[in-house]
Amino acid sequence: MRVKTFIFLITILNFSYSQLKITYQLAPTQDISSPGFSDLPAGNIVTNICICNDTVWIGTSKGLSRTTDGGKTWRNYYKTPEFGESKISAIACRNGIIWVALARTVKIDNNYFPEGLGLVYSIDGGKTWTKVEQPIDDKTDTVEAYGINQIKALPITTTVNNIIYDITLTDDAIFIASFAGGLRKSTDMGKTWQRVILPPDNLNQISPNDSLSFELNPVKNYNHRVFSVISVDDSIIWVGTADGINKSIDGGISWVKFNHQNQSMPISGNFVVALGNQKINANDTVKNIIWGATINANDPDEYKALSFSEDGGNTWRTTLIGEFVHNIAFKDSIVYAVSDNGLWRTKDFGKSWEKAGKIVDLSSRHVIYTSVFYSIGVQGDTIWAGSSDGLVKFTDSITFGDTWTIYRTYEKVAGLNKTYAYPNPFSPWLEVSRIHYSIENIQSKVTIEIFDFSMRKVRTLISNAPRSGKKEYDEIWDGRDDAGNVVPNGVYFYRIKIDDKEMYGKILVVQ
């Protein structure tokens, strides 16, 4: 199959966010043309995870999927009337209500831009959905009332670059974080939206009684480019922007900003791609620790790390220094983080970190070969993590991830005398290709060999390897020959011998 790409690329005023440039390379997907229940999620690149009680919602390279039985079955929404072929840019759920932000990439003058396609929400667990259009402004919406002030505002009249990257739900409102649209709030289930005023770059705090003169404008102010938002106990709102972390203790009216330049013990960097609240119960008291994935923005003194505060933002400590963290999750005093370099755990508030080793599903023989993880969620003692190569589940114990379950979508070939390789084409410097086949007998011996275009054998992947049960298998080719050298670009053929049966396929190597 062809390689498909989904690119979020933002560059405005020489400012770019490399995390939002995501290339999706997919395996063929099971029953993807017939949305409904399946034993696998729809896509293999899992960028969002949201967990509410027994329901796990994931945003994948093939849209939204949901499981209510621990991953035994999945409801996939790709190509349904409500979702179409949209990508998922944010998910939030609370008290049985689920909100999902939709997006796509558009090409304009040979450049790619993200476009917000609105939101959908469900109040019945995903049985029915209500569509909400992407919030945009009228051209005349140039002023926003804020206490004693009339704040100038740039009207966002387009859906291009107006994409929702995070959502949080409070008891009476929904807040959305948008790159161009900024922070917005709705108290009527998305029928109307109010722009939320955040401090400009040159102010560290604002309140309605201050005498203010600035423009609500994401082009002029990095702090009006919003990427993350969470709520704590409904009235406390935390917002991550391209200029730091903002906090409101009155439901989003007054704000104080924390960044790398305005504190003696600051966050590591002003680009805040994710926020999380760690709630710890100790001695009949509840302690909230705020965590942020803080990336270097414009100041050369800034750096990538996790930043966390135990005193409401007055001071910050940094940990996991140098890591581009994409998300954070918590299980009491344990903190989990996912980054470009793997899956991490700390039990001592960042003093030391454990990194997950090789992730192998002993039942299916699937292996996670990528180090890039985007999403993480906690469901009781079960941890779910989304990578660029599949969804992972494990039960945490003393040993970090000693038993793994891997969910990887594929097209079933049992009984079809068929094989395929994915991704195809592939680059050995970036990924591996999987040769997929099935076993029809209870016990079989399997040999797989790779040949170049002249049918010269370059690699024996496995030789008379025992494979048992009527199962489907993947065998990995890393694009190297038997001597360990990366093969040149070109077409390669593979031959599968299963007992006395042979099947052939081809793989295109492109570097």
**188-228 tens-digit pLDDT:** 999 999 999 999 999 999 999 999 999 999 999 999 999 99
Identify whether residues 467 and 400 lie together within a single domain: no
What band does 145 get if pLDDT is binned at 50, 70 and 90? Answer: very high
pLDDT at 442: 83
Higher pLDDT, 26 or 205: 205
Residues 6+ apart with CB under 8 A from 472: 410, 412, 413, 414, 436, 437, 438, 439
Find out whether 340 and 324 touch, Cβ atoms under 8 Å.
Answer: yes
Is the per-residue pLDDT at 423 higher than 90? Answer: no
Three-state SS for 258? strand
Higher pLDDT, 311 or 16: 311
Burial class (CB in 10 A: 0-12, 13-18, 19+), 495: middle
Least trusted range by pLDDT, from 57-66, 93-102, 224-233, 404-413: 404-413
DSSP string for residues in 443-478: EEEEEEEEE-TT--EEEEEEEEEEEESS-EEEEEE-
In the DSSP assignment, the letter for residue 429 is: T
- As a whole number, mean pLDDT of residues 300-328 equals 97
Q: Is residue 422 in some structural domain?
A: no
Domain count, the chain: 2
What band does 271 get if pLDDT is binned at 50, 70 and 90? Answer: very high
Identify whether residues 348 and 444 lie together within a single domain: no
Identify whether residues 446 and 369 lie together within a single domain: no
Q: Is residue 3 in some structural domain?
A: no
pLDDT at 6: 32
Identify whether residues 359 and 503 lie together within a single domain: no
Identify whether residues 321 and 437 lie together within a single domain: no
Written as six digits, the tokens of 269 are 């960097």
pLDDT at 402: 78
Beta carbons within 10 angstroms of residue 326's beta carbon: 21
Written as six digits, the tokens of 360 are 């192998």
Identify whether residues 308 and 247 lie together within a single domain: yes
Identify whether residues 311 and 206 lie together within a single domain: yes
HSE-CB of 159 using CA atoms within 13 angstroms: 14
- As a whole number, mean pLDDT of residues 14-41 equals 47
Residues 493 and 508: their CA atoms lie apart, in Å, by 9
What average pLDDT is seen over the chain? 90
Is the per-residue pLDDT at 22 higher than 70? Answer: no
Residues 119 and 136: their CA atoms lie apart, in Å, by 13
Higher pLDDT, 406 or 33: 406
Looking at residue 295, which CATH number applies to its domain?
Answer: 2.130.10.10
- As a whole number, mean pLDDT of residues 307-311 equals 97
Find out whether 203 and 211 touch, Cβ atoms under 8 Å.
Answer: no
Determine what percent of the chain is predicted with pLDDT higher than 70: 93
Q: Is residue 415 in some structural domain?
A: no
Q: Is residue 177 in some structural domain?
A: yes
Q: Is residue 416 in some structural domain?
A: no
**372-391 tens-digit pLDDT:** 999 999 999 999 999 998 99
Identify whether residues 93 and 236 lie together within a single domain: yes
Name the β-bridge partners of 167: 176
- As a whole number, mean pLDDT of residues 152-162 equals 96
Q: Is residue 88 in some structural domain?
A: yes
Q: Is residue 302 in some structural domain?
A: yes
Residues 28 and 42: their CA atoms lie apart, in Å, by 10
Is the per-residue pLDDT at 345 higher than 90? Answer: yes
pLDDT at 241: 98
Beta carbons within 10 angstroms of residue 123's beta carbon: 14
Burial class (CB in 10 A: 0-12, 13-18, 19+), 378: middle
Is the per-residue pLDDT at 398 higher than 90? Answer: no
Looking at residue 440, which CATH number applies to its domain?
Answer: 2.60.40.4070
Three-state SS for 20? helix
Written as six digits, the tokens of 486 are 């990366």
Identify whether residues 250 and 366 lie together within a single domain: yes
Find out whether 161 and 227 touch, Cβ atoms under 8 Å.
Answer: no
Residues 221 and 259: their CA atoms lie apart, in Å, by 14
The position carrying tokens 């001695």 is: 283
CA trace torsion 316, 317, 323, 325 (10° rounding):
-50
| Furthest C-alpha separation in the chain | 84
Beta carbons within 10 angstroms of residue 330's beta carbon: 17
Residues 138 and 127: their CA atoms lie apart, in Å, by 33
Identify whether residues 475 and 342 lie together within a single domain: no
Three-state SS for 2? coil
Whole-model pTM? 0.85
Identify whether residues 26 and 126 lie together within a single domain: yes
Residues 112 and 250: their CA atoms lie apart, in Å, by 38
In the DSSP assignment, the letter for residue 321 is: T
Three-state SS for 339? strand
Written as six digits, the tokens of 224 are 């009006």
Domain ranges, residue 454: 429-509
Residues 293 and 228: their CA atoms lie apart, in Å, by 10
What band does 412 get if pLDDT is binned at 50, 70 and 90? Answer: confident
Q: Is residue 276 in some structural domain?
A: yes
Identify whether residues 379 and 462 lie together within a single domain: no
pLDDT at 35: 60
Task: Characterize the bridge pairing of strands 149-153 and 215-216.
Answer: parallel
